[in-house]
Amino acid sequence: MKKIAILTCSNAGLDYLDYPKDIRILRSVIHFGTDESYDDFVDIDAKTFYERIANDPNDIPKTSYVSPGKMIEIFEELEAEGYEEALVITISSQLSGLFEAVKRVASEVKIKVTAFDSKTLAYSEAYMVLEAHRMVEEGLSVKDIVAHLETIRDNDTVYFAVDTLLYLVKNGRLSKLQGTLGTMLQLKPLLVLGDDGKVASLEKIRTTHKAQQRVLEKYIEETKDLNVLTFISHAHNENAAEWFKSEIQKVYPNRDVIVAPLTPVVGAHTGPKGIGVGFIKL
């Protein structure tokens, strides 16, 4: 049986979950200004990060994915440990250049590397990673694992609301026109991470509370009579996360709801108080 390594990026937020520690995490970097850089979670965790940007809303961070040199170093370590293949599950290629970077680096190392574009992030991505690891433990091939991940990807939906569009616009994840109009009109739109892996605005809403209500409505509408895995991802917004969980379980009392914070490198785009509710059809 081939020895296969599973890797992902820190955008998945595995650090805030119970996960097998032989999964390697490619850590993105958060940059403040020109002279402050922090490896995601290792140098700055979610609580510290969200408190900082809440205290200084004008100090908007930028992010970058792990350097090619660091990736090569990790792949060479895996080869030295006897791994023959590596499967790297990345954040959506529409939100980061990591997927393409992994494919480029793959040609520079001896170990066979397969890059998989999750077309998502946060818990959706983390679930794919955990499933991939489970399948490796069961002795399945990378080809079989990728086929399963594609099925998950095709059945994954995340709706979310942000308290401000500023971070999405400044980091290029939402068009400047949408962002400018949203800021001018103080809109709190209903957003979706679409099948193409892009962030899109579905509806224009006036208040954060109404946007959150609409997220809940969409979740309830679309999961009626379905068997789904439900998750809530939040940017240091525990109160809203608990409200969503409570409201969901009023309608679906037997559903488990996973709640996890958005790691700083994702929060750099949502801003503080952003929250998403997602589901995977099982």
Distance CA 8, CA 65 (A): 11
Q: Is 237 in the same domain as 178?
A: yes
Average pLDDT over residues 11-33: 97
Residues 76 and 127 placed together within one structural domain of the fold: yes
The model's pTM: 0.94
Q: Are residues 8 and 108 part of one domain?
A: yes
Q: How many domains does the chain have?
A: 2
Which of 133, 154, 175 delimits the end of a domain?
154
- Give residue 250's pLDDT: 97
Beta bridge partners of 228: 281
Confidence of residue 264 (pLDDT cuts 50, 70, 90): very high
**37 within domain boundaries:** no
Q: Both 9 and 126 in a single domain?
A: yes
Please indicate, yes or no, whether residues 213 and 117 belong to a single structural domain of this protein.
no
Q: Domain end: 136, 154, 172, which one?
A: 154
pLDDT at 163: 83
Confirm if 276 and 122 have CB atoms less than 8 A apart. yes
CATH of the domain at 189: 3.30.1180.10
For residue 43, being part of any structural domain is answered with no
The answer as to whether 42 is a domain residue is no
Domain final residue, candidates 121, 154, 187: 154
Note whether 86 and 160 are same-domain residues.
Answer: no
Residue 50 in domain: no
| pLDDT one-digit tens code per residue, 175-231 | 555 555 555 446 788 899 978 898 888 888 888 899 999 999 999 999 999 999 999
Buried b (16+ CB within 10 A) or exposed e, 239-252: ebbebbbebbeeeb
**Residue 179 belongs to a domain:** yes
Give the residue numbers spanning the domain of 224: 156-281
Same domain, 150 and 16: yes
Mark whether 174 and 196 lie in a shared domain. Answer: yes
Distance CA 249, CA 234 (A): 18
**Residue 163 within any structural domain of the chain:** yes
Residues 226 and 238 in one domain: yes
CATH of the domain at 72: 3.40.50.10440
Question: Residue 99 is encoded by which pair of tokens?
Answer: 């997927």
Give yes or no for residue 19 having a pLDDT over 70.
Answer: yes
H-state helical runs in 227-279: 238-251, 264-270
174 pLDDT exceeds 90?
no
